[in-house]
Structure 1
Protein backbone atom coordinates (compact mmCIF):
# COMPACT_ATOMS: atom_id res chain seq x y z
CA UNK A 1 0.00 0.00 0.00
CA UNK A 2 1.09 3.53 -0.73
CA UNK A 3 0.15 6.19 1.84
CA UNK A 4 0.50 9.95 1.50
CA UNK A 5 1.16 11.58 4.89
CA UNK A 6 0.50 15.22 5.80
CA UNK A 7 1.24 17.02 9.05
CA UNK A 8 0.76 20.74 9.65
CA UNK A 9 -0.42 20.49 13.24
CA UNK A 10 2.43 22.57 14.68
CA UNK A 11 5.34 24.71 13.53
CA UNK A 12 6.61 21.83 11.39
CA UNK A 13 5.13 21.36 7.93
CA UNK A 14 5.74 17.85 6.66
CA UNK A 15 4.79 15.71 3.65
CA UNK A 16 5.77 12.08 3.09
CA UNK A 17 5.04 9.06 0.94
CA UNK A 18 5.33 5.61 2.51
CA UNK A 19 4.88 2.39 0.56
CA UNK A 20 4.56 -0.68 2.79
CA UNK A 21 7.77 -0.70 4.89
CA UNK A 22 9.63 1.83 2.74
CA UNK A 23 9.66 5.61 3.06
CA UNK A 24 9.79 6.86 -0.53
CA UNK A 25 10.15 10.54 0.34
CA UNK A 26 9.77 13.02 3.18
CA UNK A 27 9.92 16.81 3.10
CA UNK A 28 9.81 18.60 6.46
CA UNK A 29 10.39 22.23 7.33
CA UNK A 30 10.56 23.52 10.89
CA UNK A 31 10.58 27.22 10.24
CA UNK A 32 8.34 30.26 10.66
CA UNK A 33 6.37 30.02 7.44
CA UNK A 34 2.65 29.83 6.85
CA UNK A 35 1.60 26.27 6.09
CA UNK A 36 -0.95 27.55 3.60
CA UNK A 37 2.01 28.80 1.55
CA UNK A 38 4.21 25.73 1.98
CA UNK A 39 2.23 22.50 2.22
CA UNK A 40 1.06 22.15 -1.39
CA UNK A 41 4.39 23.31 -2.90
CA UNK A 42 6.12 20.72 -0.70
CA UNK A 43 3.75 18.04 -1.98
CA UNK A 44 4.38 19.15 -5.57
CA UNK A 45 8.13 18.90 -4.99
CA UNK A 46 7.86 15.41 -3.48
CA UNK A 47 5.69 14.26 -6.40
CA UNK A 48 8.12 15.76 -8.91
CA UNK A 49 11.25 14.29 -7.33
CA UNK A 50 9.77 10.80 -7.03
CA UNK A 51 7.77 10.87 -10.27
CA UNK A 52 4.69 10.19 -8.18
CA UNK A 53 1.29 9.97 -9.81
CA UNK A 54 -1.06 10.93 -6.96
CA UNK A 55 -3.72 8.68 -8.45
CA UNK A 56 -1.57 5.69 -7.42
CA UNK A 57 -1.77 6.38 -3.68
CA UNK A 58 -4.18 4.22 -1.71
CA UNK A 59 -5.04 6.62 1.10
CA UNK A 60 -4.16 9.96 2.65
CA UNK A 61 -3.07 10.05 6.30
CA UNK A 62 -3.31 13.41 8.02
CA UNK A 63 -2.43 14.58 11.53
CA UNK A 64 -5.94 15.00 12.87
CA UNK A 65 -5.21 16.98 16.02
CA UNK A 66 -4.66 18.32 18.51
CA UNK A 67 -2.37 21.19 17.60
CA UNK A 68 -2.43 24.65 16.11
CA UNK A 69 -6.02 25.47 15.16
CA UNK A 70 -4.91 27.17 11.94
CA UNK A 71 -2.41 24.44 11.10
CA UNK A 72 -4.99 21.70 11.64
CA UNK A 73 -7.50 23.48 9.42
CA UNK A 74 -4.91 23.81 6.65
CA UNK A 75 -3.93 20.15 6.89
CA UNK A 76 -7.55 19.05 7.03
CA UNK A 77 -8.58 21.20 4.07
CA UNK A 78 -5.61 19.97 2.03
CA UNK A 79 -6.31 16.32 2.82
CA UNK A 80 -10.05 16.69 2.18
CA UNK A 81 -9.44 18.44 -1.14
CA UNK A 82 -7.03 15.75 -2.28
CA UNK A 83 -9.29 12.98 -1.03
CA UNK A 84 -12.28 14.36 -2.91
CA UNK A 85 -10.33 15.02 -6.09
CA UNK A 86 -8.57 11.64 -6.10
CA UNK A 87 -11.49 9.71 -4.57
CA UNK A 88 -9.23 8.31 -1.84
CA UNK A 89 -10.03 7.57 1.82
CA UNK A 90 -8.59 9.63 4.65
CA UNK A 91 -6.91 8.28 7.77
CA UNK A 92 -7.09 10.70 10.69
CA UNK A 93 -4.04 10.02 12.87
CA UNK A 94 -4.02 11.64 16.34
CA UNK A 95 -1.12 14.10 16.36
CA UNK A 96 0.45 13.00 19.62
CA UNK A 97 0.15 9.31 18.71
CA UNK A 98 2.11 9.99 15.53
CA UNK A 99 4.71 11.82 17.62
CA UNK A 100 4.99 8.82 19.93
CA UNK A 101 5.40 6.54 16.91
CA UNK A 102 8.65 8.40 16.13
CA UNK A 103 10.17 6.53 19.08
CA UNK A 104 9.37 3.04 17.85
CA UNK A 105 10.06 0.31 20.43
CA UNK A 106 11.57 2.71 22.97
CA UNK A 107 11.48 1.22 26.46
CA UNK A 108 9.31 2.73 29.18
CA UNK A 109 6.67 5.39 28.69
CA UNK A 110 6.60 7.87 25.83
CA UNK A 111 5.13 11.30 26.48
CA UNK A 112 4.77 13.73 23.57
CA UNK A 113 4.08 17.30 24.71
CA UNK A 114 2.96 20.13 22.49
CA UNK A 115 2.85 23.65 23.88
CA UNK A 116 -0.85 24.57 24.11
CA UNK A 117 -0.17 27.95 25.77
CA UNK A 118 -1.70 29.09 29.08
CA UNK A 119 0.73 26.67 30.83
CA UNK A 120 -1.04 23.71 29.21
CA UNK A 121 0.15 20.93 26.92
CA UNK A 122 -1.44 18.67 24.36
CA UNK A 123 -0.22 15.26 25.37
CA UNK A 124 -0.88 11.55 25.80
CA UNK A 125 0.96 8.66 27.44
CA UNK A 126 2.10 5.67 25.39
CA UNK A 127 4.27 2.58 25.44
CA UNK A 128 5.29 -0.13 23.01
CA UNK A 129 4.34 -3.73 23.72
CA UNK A 130 5.14 -6.54 21.29
CA UNK A 131 6.23 -3.90 18.76
CA UNK A 132 2.82 -2.20 18.85
CA UNK A 133 1.99 1.27 20.10
CA UNK A 134 -0.25 1.05 23.16
CA UNK A 135 -2.29 3.97 24.50
CA UNK A 136 -1.76 4.26 28.25
CA UNK A 137 -3.72 7.51 28.49
CA UNK A 138 -5.60 9.09 25.59
CA UNK A 139 -4.52 12.44 24.19
CA UNK A 140 -5.62 15.36 26.31
CA UNK A 141 -5.11 19.06 26.99
CA UNK A 142 -3.93 19.51 30.60
CA UNK A 143 -1.76 21.79 32.73
CA UNK A 144 1.83 20.56 32.68
CA UNK A 145 1.78 20.16 36.47
CA UNK A 146 -1.17 17.77 36.24
CA UNK A 147 0.64 15.74 33.59
CA UNK A 148 3.73 15.40 35.77
CA UNK A 149 1.59 14.24 38.70
CA UNK A 150 0.17 11.51 36.46
CA UNK A 151 3.65 10.44 35.36
CA UNK A 152 4.96 10.48 38.92
CA UNK A 153 2.20 8.00 39.74
CA UNK A 154 3.49 5.53 37.15
CA UNK A 155 7.06 5.65 38.48
CA UNK A 156 8.55 4.53 35.17
CA UNK A 157 11.19 5.77 32.76
CA UNK A 158 9.68 8.45 30.48
CA UNK A 159 10.95 9.80 27.17
CA UNK A 160 9.64 13.25 26.24
CA UNK A 161 9.43 14.81 22.79
CA UNK A 162 7.60 17.62 21.02
CA UNK A 163 7.73 21.39 20.85
CA UNK A 164 6.65 21.60 24.49
CA UNK A 165 10.00 20.21 25.66
CA UNK A 166 12.00 23.46 25.32
CA UNK A 167 9.18 25.35 27.03
CA UNK A 168 8.73 23.00 30.00
CA UNK A 169 12.06 21.16 30.26
CA UNK A 170 13.13 22.92 33.46
CA UNK A 171 9.74 22.27 35.05
CA UNK A 172 9.96 18.59 34.10
CA UNK A 173 13.45 18.20 35.56
CA UNK A 174 12.39 20.01 38.73
CA UNK A 175 9.17 18.09 39.42
CA UNK A 176 9.81 14.65 37.89
CA UNK A 177 10.09 11.84 40.44
CA UNK A 178 11.07 9.40 37.70
CA UNK A 179 13.97 8.87 35.34
CA UNK A 180 13.42 10.87 32.16
CA UNK A 181 15.12 11.57 28.86
CA UNK A 182 14.46 13.78 25.86
CA UNK A 183 14.34 12.62 22.24
CA UNK A 184 17.11 13.88 19.91
CA UNK A 185 16.58 16.41 17.11
CA UNK A 186 15.84 13.99 14.27
CA UNK A 187 12.80 12.44 16.00
CA UNK A 188 11.54 15.10 18.42
CA UNK A 189 9.05 16.91 16.17
CA UNK A 190 6.14 16.03 13.91
CA UNK A 191 7.04 13.91 10.88
CA UNK A 192 4.65 13.07 8.06
CA UNK A 193 6.48 9.74 7.63
CA UNK A 194 5.31 8.73 11.12
CA UNK A 195 1.77 9.87 10.27
CA UNK A 196 1.85 7.78 7.07
CA UNK A 197 3.40 4.71 8.72
CA UNK A 198 0.94 4.74 11.61
CA UNK A 199 -1.81 5.56 9.14
CA UNK A 200 -1.01 2.33 7.32
CA UNK A 201 -1.50 0.41 10.59
CA UNK A 202 -4.82 2.16 11.19
CA UNK A 203 -5.97 1.53 7.62
CA UNK A 204 -5.32 -2.18 8.01
CA UNK A 205 -7.43 -2.07 11.18
CA UNK A 206 -10.28 -0.45 9.25
CA UNK A 207 -9.82 2.96 10.89
CA UNK A 208 -10.37 5.28 7.94
CA UNK A 209 -13.09 7.59 6.63
CA UNK A 210 -14.24 9.43 3.55
CA UNK A 211 -12.91 12.89 2.77
CA UNK A 212 -16.35 14.35 3.48
CA UNK A 213 -16.47 12.75 6.94
CA UNK A 214 -13.09 14.00 8.13
CA UNK A 215 -12.97 16.67 10.84
CA UNK A 216 -9.94 17.71 12.91
CA UNK A 217 -9.94 17.05 16.66
CA UNK A 218 -9.08 20.31 18.42
CA UNK A 219 -9.48 18.91 21.99
CA UNK A 220 -10.45 22.34 23.27
CA UNK A 221 -12.13 25.47 21.98
CA UNK A 222 -10.06 28.17 20.29
CA UNK A 223 -9.00 31.39 22.00
CA UNK A 224 -11.49 33.34 19.89
CA UNK A 225 -14.30 31.03 21.02
CA UNK A 226 -13.20 31.32 24.67
CA UNK A 227 -13.15 35.12 24.44
CA UNK A 228 -16.58 35.17 22.78
CA UNK A 229 -17.97 32.94 25.56
CA UNK A 230 -16.46 35.22 28.21
CA UNK A 231 -17.99 38.30 26.58
CA UNK A 232 -21.38 36.58 26.37
CA UNK A 233 -21.14 35.55 30.03
CA UNK A 234 -20.22 39.11 31.05
CA UNK A 235 -23.16 40.48 29.00
CA UNK A 236 -25.61 38.06 30.60
CA UNK A 237 -24.32 38.92 34.09
CA UNK A 238 -24.71 42.62 33.34
CA UNK A 239 -28.27 42.14 32.08
CA UNK A 240 -29.08 40.01 35.12
CA UNK A 241 -27.77 42.74 37.42
CA UNK A 242 -29.87 45.37 35.68
CA UNK A 243 -32.95 43.16 36.01
CA UNK A 244 -32.40 42.80 39.77
CA UNK A 245 -32.17 46.56 40.18
Structure 2
Protein backbone atom coordinates (compact mmCIF):
# COMPACT_ATOMS: atom_id res chain seq x y z
CA UNK A 1 0.00 0.00 0.00
CA UNK A 2 1.41 3.37 -1.03
CA UNK A 3 0.48 6.47 0.97
CA UNK A 4 0.74 10.09 -0.11
CA UNK A 5 1.21 12.33 2.94
CA UNK A 6 0.54 16.09 2.93
CA UNK A 7 1.19 18.61 5.72
CA UNK A 8 0.58 22.35 5.24
CA UNK A 9 -0.36 23.14 8.83
CA UNK A 10 2.44 25.71 9.18
CA UNK A 11 4.60 27.73 6.78
CA UNK A 12 6.39 24.44 6.10
CA UNK A 13 5.10 22.45 3.13
CA UNK A 14 5.81 18.74 3.53
CA UNK A 15 4.94 15.91 1.16
CA UNK A 16 5.96 12.25 1.37
CA UNK A 17 5.26 8.94 -0.31
CA UNK A 18 5.54 5.88 1.89
CA UNK A 19 5.02 2.18 1.32
CA UNK A 20 4.18 -0.13 4.19
CA UNK A 21 7.80 -1.19 4.52
CA UNK A 22 9.77 1.92 3.49
CA UNK A 23 9.81 5.66 2.98
CA UNK A 24 10.04 6.22 -0.78
CA UNK A 25 10.51 9.99 -0.84
CA UNK A 26 9.95 13.15 1.19
CA UNK A 27 10.08 16.88 0.44
CA UNK A 28 10.16 19.55 3.15
CA UNK A 29 10.18 23.20 2.08
CA UNK A 30 10.46 25.82 4.84
CA UNK A 31 10.21 29.13 2.99
CA UNK A 32 8.01 32.19 2.88
CA UNK A 33 6.31 31.19 -0.35
CA UNK A 34 2.59 30.56 0.00
CA UNK A 35 1.28 27.01 -0.03
CA UNK A 36 -0.68 27.82 -3.16
CA UNK A 37 2.70 28.41 -4.86
CA UNK A 38 4.69 25.48 -3.54
CA UNK A 39 2.38 22.54 -2.75
CA UNK A 40 1.45 21.32 -6.23
CA UNK A 41 5.00 21.70 -7.64
CA UNK A 42 6.30 19.65 -4.69
CA UNK A 43 3.70 16.93 -5.30
CA UNK A 44 4.52 16.84 -9.00
CA UNK A 45 8.26 16.73 -8.29
CA UNK A 46 8.07 13.92 -5.75
CA UNK A 47 6.02 11.77 -8.13
CA UNK A 48 8.54 12.44 -10.88
CA UNK A 49 11.60 11.69 -8.74
CA UNK A 50 10.04 8.50 -7.34
CA UNK A 51 8.95 7.29 -10.79
CA UNK A 52 5.35 7.12 -9.63
CA UNK A 53 2.03 8.69 -10.57
CA UNK A 54 -1.07 9.44 -8.56
CA UNK A 55 -2.53 6.20 -9.94
CA UNK A 56 -0.02 4.31 -7.78
CA UNK A 57 -1.40 5.85 -4.56
CA UNK A 58 -3.76 3.75 -2.43
CA UNK A 59 -4.31 6.13 0.48
CA UNK A 60 -4.06 9.88 1.09
CA UNK A 61 -2.88 11.04 4.52
CA UNK A 62 -3.39 14.69 5.41
CA UNK A 63 -2.63 16.86 8.41
CA UNK A 64 -5.85 18.66 9.33
CA UNK A 65 -4.54 21.02 12.01
CA UNK A 66 -4.60 22.92 14.19
CA UNK A 67 -2.35 25.47 12.56
CA UNK A 68 -2.37 27.98 9.72
CA UNK A 69 -5.97 28.51 8.59
CA UNK A 70 -5.04 29.19 4.96
CA UNK A 71 -2.45 26.44 4.84
CA UNK A 72 -4.87 23.87 6.23
CA UNK A 73 -7.54 24.76 3.70
CA UNK A 74 -5.09 24.32 0.82
CA UNK A 75 -3.66 21.03 2.08
CA UNK A 76 -7.00 19.46 2.94
CA UNK A 77 -8.60 20.63 -0.31
CA UNK A 78 -5.72 19.11 -2.29
CA UNK A 79 -5.98 15.81 -0.42
CA UNK A 80 -9.74 15.67 -0.92
CA UNK A 81 -9.37 16.40 -4.62
CA UNK A 82 -6.89 13.56 -5.11
CA UNK A 83 -8.97 11.12 -3.05
CA UNK A 84 -12.14 12.08 -4.91
CA UNK A 85 -10.62 11.82 -8.38
CA UNK A 86 -9.05 8.40 -7.65
CA UNK A 87 -11.80 7.14 -5.32
CA UNK A 88 -9.35 6.26 -2.56
CA UNK A 89 -9.69 6.81 1.21
CA UNK A 90 -8.24 9.60 3.33
CA UNK A 91 -6.81 9.33 6.83
CA UNK A 92 -6.76 12.56 8.84
CA UNK A 93 -3.91 13.23 11.26
CA UNK A 94 -3.67 16.18 13.63
CA UNK A 95 -0.60 18.40 13.59
CA UNK A 96 0.28 17.89 17.27
CA UNK A 97 0.44 14.09 17.06
CA UNK A 98 2.51 14.47 13.90
CA UNK A 99 5.06 16.64 15.71
CA UNK A 100 5.10 14.28 18.69
CA UNK A 101 5.71 11.33 16.38
CA UNK A 102 8.89 13.07 15.14
CA UNK A 103 10.37 12.31 18.59
CA UNK A 104 9.99 8.58 18.02
CA UNK A 105 10.38 6.45 21.17
CA UNK A 106 11.56 9.37 23.31
CA UNK A 107 11.42 9.00 27.08
CA UNK A 108 9.42 11.50 29.10
CA UNK A 109 6.52 13.70 28.04
CA UNK A 110 6.38 15.13 24.52
CA UNK A 111 4.70 18.55 24.43
CA UNK A 112 4.15 19.89 20.90
CA UNK A 113 3.53 23.65 20.71
CA UNK A 114 2.26 25.44 17.62
CA UNK A 115 2.01 29.21 17.41
CA UNK A 116 -1.60 30.37 17.83
CA UNK A 117 -0.64 34.09 17.91
CA UNK A 118 -1.28 36.59 20.71
CA UNK A 119 1.16 34.69 22.99
CA UNK A 120 -0.98 31.55 22.74
CA UNK A 121 -0.05 28.08 21.56
CA UNK A 122 -1.93 25.02 20.37
CA UNK A 123 -0.69 22.20 22.55
CA UNK A 124 -1.27 18.71 23.91
CA UNK A 125 0.88 16.01 25.53
CA UNK A 126 2.01 12.58 24.39
CA UNK A 127 4.14 9.72 25.60
CA UNK A 128 5.50 6.51 24.09
CA UNK A 129 4.28 3.27 25.62
CA UNK A 130 4.91 -0.20 24.21
CA UNK A 131 6.20 1.33 20.95
CA UNK A 132 2.97 3.29 20.49
CA UNK A 133 2.36 7.03 20.72
CA UNK A 134 -0.32 7.80 23.30
CA UNK A 135 -2.16 11.09 23.76
CA UNK A 136 -2.32 11.92 27.48
CA UNK A 137 -3.78 15.42 27.20
CA UNK A 138 -6.29 16.67 24.64
CA UNK A 139 -5.59 19.51 22.23
CA UNK A 140 -6.19 22.97 23.64
CA UNK A 141 -5.16 26.61 23.25
CA UNK A 142 -3.07 27.95 26.14
CA UNK A 143 -1.17 31.10 26.94
CA UNK A 144 2.51 30.19 26.86
CA UNK A 145 3.03 31.48 30.42
CA UNK A 146 0.19 29.30 31.68
CA UNK A 147 1.69 26.28 29.95
CA UNK A 148 5.13 26.96 31.41
CA UNK A 149 3.65 27.24 34.91
CA UNK A 150 1.99 23.85 34.40
CA UNK A 151 5.14 22.03 33.35
CA UNK A 152 7.94 23.74 35.26
CA UNK A 153 7.54 21.66 38.42
CA UNK A 154 6.96 18.28 36.78
CA UNK A 155 9.61 15.69 37.58
CA UNK A 156 9.55 14.14 34.07
CA UNK A 157 11.63 15.43 31.22
CA UNK A 158 9.43 17.55 28.93
CA UNK A 159 10.33 17.47 25.24
CA UNK A 160 9.04 20.49 23.33
CA UNK A 161 8.67 20.45 19.56
CA UNK A 162 6.97 22.72 17.01
CA UNK A 163 7.22 26.18 15.48
CA UNK A 164 6.37 27.96 18.75
CA UNK A 165 9.57 26.64 20.33
CA UNK A 166 11.69 29.27 18.57
CA UNK A 167 9.21 32.02 19.40
CA UNK A 168 9.27 31.24 23.12
CA UNK A 169 12.76 29.71 23.32
CA UNK A 170 14.08 32.07 26.01
CA UNK A 171 11.26 31.22 28.40
CA UNK A 172 11.51 27.50 27.69
CA UNK A 173 15.27 27.38 28.20
CA UNK A 174 14.84 28.80 31.70
CA UNK A 175 13.24 25.51 32.81
CA UNK A 176 15.46 22.70 34.08
CA UNK A 177 13.22 19.86 32.88
CA UNK A 178 12.86 21.04 29.27
CA UNK A 179 14.53 19.41 26.28
CA UNK A 180 14.22 21.35 23.03
CA UNK A 181 14.02 19.13 19.97
CA UNK A 182 16.65 19.54 17.23
CA UNK A 183 15.83 21.53 14.09
CA UNK A 184 15.51 18.34 12.04
CA UNK A 185 12.62 17.19 14.26
CA UNK A 186 11.08 20.52 15.13
CA UNK A 187 9.25 21.02 11.84
CA UNK A 188 6.30 19.00 10.50
CA UNK A 189 7.30 15.89 8.55
CA UNK A 190 4.97 14.31 6.01
CA UNK A 191 6.66 10.95 6.66
CA UNK A 192 5.26 11.09 10.20
CA UNK A 193 1.83 11.86 8.74
CA UNK A 194 2.13 8.76 6.53
CA UNK A 195 3.28 6.50 9.36
CA UNK A 196 0.47 7.56 11.69
CA UNK A 197 -2.04 7.21 8.86
CA UNK A 198 -0.94 3.64 8.11
CA UNK A 199 -1.54 2.67 11.73
CA UNK A 200 -4.95 4.34 11.74
CA UNK A 201 -5.87 2.66 8.47
CA UNK A 202 -5.01 -0.75 9.94
CA UNK A 203 -7.37 0.09 12.82
CA UNK A 204 -10.11 1.14 10.38
CA UNK A 205 -9.92 4.82 11.32
CA UNK A 206 -10.65 6.17 7.85
CA UNK A 207 -12.26 9.23 6.26
CA UNK A 208 -13.16 10.13 2.70
CA UNK A 209 -13.33 13.28 0.57
CA UNK A 210 -16.73 14.13 2.04
CA UNK A 211 -15.84 13.86 5.73
CA UNK A 212 -12.23 15.12 5.86
CA UNK A 213 -12.15 18.72 7.11
CA UNK A 214 -9.65 21.07 8.78
CA UNK A 215 -9.41 21.07 12.57
CA UNK A 216 -9.44 24.73 13.53
CA UNK A 217 -9.89 24.63 17.36
CA UNK A 218 -10.78 28.32 17.38
CA UNK A 219 -12.00 30.99 14.97
CA UNK A 220 -9.62 32.78 12.66
CA UNK A 221 -8.75 36.42 13.31
CA UNK A 222 -10.74 37.40 10.20
CA UNK A 223 -13.84 35.64 11.57
CA UNK A 224 -13.40 37.29 14.97
CA UNK A 225 -13.09 40.73 13.38
CA UNK A 226 -16.09 40.11 11.13
CA UNK A 227 -18.27 39.08 14.07
CA UNK A 228 -17.13 42.13 16.01
CA UNK A 229 -18.10 44.42 13.10
CA UNK A 230 -21.49 42.71 12.89
CA UNK A 231 -21.99 43.13 16.63
CA UNK A 232 -21.18 46.84 16.44
CA UNK A 233 -23.48 47.34 13.47
CA UNK A 234 -26.26 45.67 15.45
CA UNK A 235 -25.65 47.90 18.45
CA UNK A 236 -25.63 51.01 16.28
CA UNK A 237 -28.67 49.92 14.32
Using the size of structure 2 for normalisation, the TM-score is 0.96
- Rounded Cα–Cα distance in structure 2 between residues aligned with 1:109 and 1:49: 37
Please list the CA deviations of residues 185-226 of structure 1 after superposition, one character each: whole Å capped at 9, or x if unmatched.
Answer: 111100111101111111111111111211110111000111
Match of 1:242 in 2: none
8 Å Cα contact 2:160/2:179 also seen in 1: yes
Question: Aligned ranges for residues 76-87 of structure 1 at < 5 Å?
Answer: 76-87=76-87
- Rounded Cα–Cα distance in structure 1 between residues aligned with 2:31 and 2:96: 20
Show structure 1 runs of 5+ residues with no match.
240-245
Please list the CA deviations of residues 103-125 of structure 1 after superposition, one character each: whole Å capped at 9, or x if unmatched.
Answer: 01000000111111100011111
Question: Aligned ranges for residues 196-211 of structure 1 at < 5 Å?
Answer: 196-211=194-209
Match of 1:44 in 2: 44
Match of 2:28 in 1: 28
Match of 1:64 in 2: 64
Match of 1:224 in 2: 222
- Rounded Cα–Cα distance in structure 1 between residues aligned with 2:87 and 2:228: 42
Please list the CA deviations of residues 83-130 of structure 1 after superposition, one character each: whole Å capped at 9, or x if unmatched.
Answer: 111111111100110010000100000011111110001111111001
Q: How much has 1:53 moved relative to structure 2? A: 2.6
Q: How much has 1:153 moved relative to structure 2? A: 5.8
Q: How much has 1:154 moved relative to structure 2? A: 4.0
Q: Say which SS state the counterpart of residue 118 (structure 1) adopts.
A: coil
Match of 2:169 in 1: 169
Match of 1:142 in 2: 142
- Rounded Cα–Cα distance in structure 2 between residues aligned with 1:145 and 1:155: 19
Please list the CA deviations of residues 166-185 of structure 1 after superposition, one character each: whole Å capped at 9, or x if unmatched.
Answer: 111112233x4x51111111
Q: How many residues align?
A: 237
- Rounded Cα–Cα distance in structure 2 between residues aligned with 1:181 and 1:67: 23
Q: 1:194 aligns with which of 184, 188, 192?
A: 192
- Rounded Cα–Cα distance in structure 2 between residues aligned with 1:210 and 1:3: 14
Flag the structure with larger Rg.
Answer: 1
8 Å Cα contact 2:154/2:177 also seen in 1: no
Match of 1:117 in 2: 117
- Rounded Cα–Cα distance in structure 2 between residues aligned with 1:205 and 1:160: 28
8 Å Cα contact 2:152/2:177 also seen in 1: no
- Rounded Cα–Cα distance in structure 2 between residues aligned with 1:117 and 1:155: 29
Match of 1:94 in 2: 94
- Rounded Cα–Cα distance in structure 2 between residues aligned with 1:153 and 1:140: 20
Match of 1:55 in 2: 55
